[in-house]
Amino acid sequence: MPSAPFMLESFPRAILHLDGDAFFASVEQAVHPELKGRPVVTGKERGIIACASLEAKALGIRRGVPLFAARRRHPELVVLPSDYETYSLYSRRMFAIMRRYTPSVEEYSIDEGFADLSGLRRVFHASYQAIARRMQADIQKELDITAAVGLSLSKSLAKLASKFRKPAGLTAVRGRHIHLFLQHIPLEKVWGFGHNTVHLLTRYGLKTAYDFAERPAIWAQRLLGKIGGELWRELRGEAVYPICPEEKSAPASISKCKTFTAPSANREFIAAMLIRNLESAFIKLRRHRLRARAIAVILRERDFSETGLEAALSRATAATHEAVPLAKALFARVFQDGKEYRATTIILGKLEPDELAQPDLFEDRLRIDKLAQVSQAVDAVNERFGKHTLSLGSCLFLERHRQTERDERPVRKAALLPGETRRRRLAIPRLFIKV
Amino acid sequence: MPKTLKLQPKAALLRRFCRLEGRIPSYTEMLTLFGYRSKNAVHGLLGRLQQAGYIRKHKGKLALTARLSGAVKLLGAVPAGFPSPAEEELVDTINLEEFLVRRPEATYLLTVSGDSMVEAGIYPGDIILVEKGTTPKPHDIVVAQVDDEWTIKYFEQDAQGVRLAPANAKYKAIRPKRSLTIGGVVRAVIRKY
DSSP label at A2?
A: -
This model of the complex carries an ipTM of: 0.73
Instruction: Please report which confidence band the pLDDT of residue A404 belongs to, taking 50, 70 and 90 as the band edges.
Output: low
Q: Are B75 and B82 in contact (CB under 8 A)?
A: no
Q: Which residue from A97, A143, A433 is facing B110, i.e. has the nearest CB? A: A433
Note the pLDDT of residue B111: 92
pLDDT at A100 over 70: yes
How far the first Cα of chain B sits from its last, in Å, is: 35
CB contact under 8 A, B105 and A143: yes
Contacts of A362 (CB under 8 A, 6+ apart): none
DSSP string covering A139-154, please? Answer: HHHHH---EEEEEESS
> By percentage, how much of chain B surpasses pLDDT 70?
86
- What is the pLDDT at residue A232? 93
Instruction: Tell me how close the Cα of B47 comes to any Cα of chain A, in angstroms.
Output: 26
Angle between helices A23-31 and A84-99 (to 10 degrees): 100
Lowest-confidence region among A1-15, A24-38, A143-157: A1-15
Q: Are A201 and A182 in contact (CB under 8 A)?
A: no
CA–chain centroid gap for A143, Å, is 20
Q: Does a structural domain hold residue A220?
A: no
Q: With the C-alpha atoms ordered A264, A266, A267, A272, is the resulting torsion angle positive or negative?
A: negative
Q: Is A380 on the interface with B (CB under 8 A)?
A: yes
Measure the CA–CA gap between A64 and A61, rounded to whole angstroms: 9
For residues A19 and A167, membership in a common domain is answered with yes
The CATH number of whichever domain residue A167 belongs to comes to: 3.30.70.270
Scored b (16 or more CB within 10 A) or e, A116-155 reads: bbbebeeeeeeebbebbbebbebbeebbbbbbbbbbbbbb
Residue A204 lies in a domain: no
**Number of structural domains in chain A:** 2
What is the domain extent for residue A309?
254-402
Residue A113: Cβ-neighbour burial (10 angstroms; 0-12, 13-18, 19+): buried
| DSSP 8-state symbol, B31 | H
Give the pLDDT confidence of A41-61 residue by residue, as tens digits.
Answer: 998 877 888 999 999 999 989
Q: Is A1 on the interface with B (CB under 8 A)?
A: no
Average pLDDT, chain A: 88
Q: A430 and B109 in contact by Cβ < 8 A? A: yes
- A227 to chain B, minimum CA–CA distance in Å? 38
pLDDT digits (tens, 9 = 90+) for B87-132: 555 566 778 888 899 899 999 999 999 899 999 999 999 999 999 9
Return residues 136-195 of A near B (CB < 8 Å): 138, 141-144
- Establish if A200 belongs to a structural domain: no
Which residues in chain A have Cβ-Cβ distances shorter than 8 Å to B184? 431
| Residues of chain A neighbouring B152 (CB-CB closer than 8 A) | 435
Nearest 5°: CA angle at B26, between B50 and B15? 55
**For A148-159, what is the mean pLDDT?**
94
CATH number, domain of A394, equals: 3.30.1490.100
B127 contacts B190 by C-beta, under 8 angstroms: yes
pLDDT of residue A406: 64
* Closest by Cα among A167, A148, A224 to A190: A224
pLDDT confidence of residue B88: 56
pLDDT value at position B74?
Answer: 42
Percent of chain A beyond pLDDT 90? 39
A37 CB neighbour count, 10 Å cutoff: 11
Distance CA A142, CA A134 (A): 12
A351 in a structural domain: yes
Domain's final residue, options A171, A201, A233:
A171
Domains of chain B: 7-75 (1.10.10.10), 100-190 (2.10.109.10)
DSSP helix/strand/coil, B111: strand
Give pLDDT, residue A419.
80
State residue B76's pLDDT score.
Answer: 42
**Domain contains A223:** no
Q: How far is CA B38 from CA A10, B43, B47, B62, B168, in A?
A: 73, 9, 15, 19, 65
The partner residue sitting opposite B109, judged by closest CB among A380, A418, A426, is A426
- The amino acid at residue B190 is I
Please return the burial class of A223, using the count of CB atoms within 10 Å of its CB with bins 0-12, 13-18 and 19+: middle
Q: Cβ neighbours of residue B181 under 8 Å, at least 6 residues apart?
A: B144, B145
CB B139 within 8 A of CB B154: yes
Q: Are residues A132 and A260 in the same domain?
A: no
Q: Which of A343, A400, A409, A341 is nearest to A44 (CA)?
A: A409
Average pLDDT over residues A80-103: 92
State pLDDT tens for residues A307-359: 889 999 888 888 898 899 999 999 999 998 888 888 899 999 888 887 767 77
The secondary structure of A223-256 as a DSSP string is HHHHHHHHHHHHHTT---SPP--SPP-S-S-EEE
Per residue in B25-62, pLDDT tens? 888 889 988 889 999 999 999 888 888 888 888 777 88
- Indicate whether A128 belongs to any domain: yes
Q: Which residues in B lie closer than 8 A to residue A31 (C-beta atoms)?
A: 108
pLDDT tier, A427 (very low <50, low <70, confident <90, very high otherwise): confident
pLDDT bin (cut points 50, 70, 90) of residue A402 is low
Among A49-53, A55-59, A118-122, A287-291, the minimum mean pLDDT is found in A287-291
Nearest beta carbon to residue A142 from set B111, B127, B133: B133
What does the mean pLDDT of chain B come to? 83
A377 and A259 together in one domain? yes
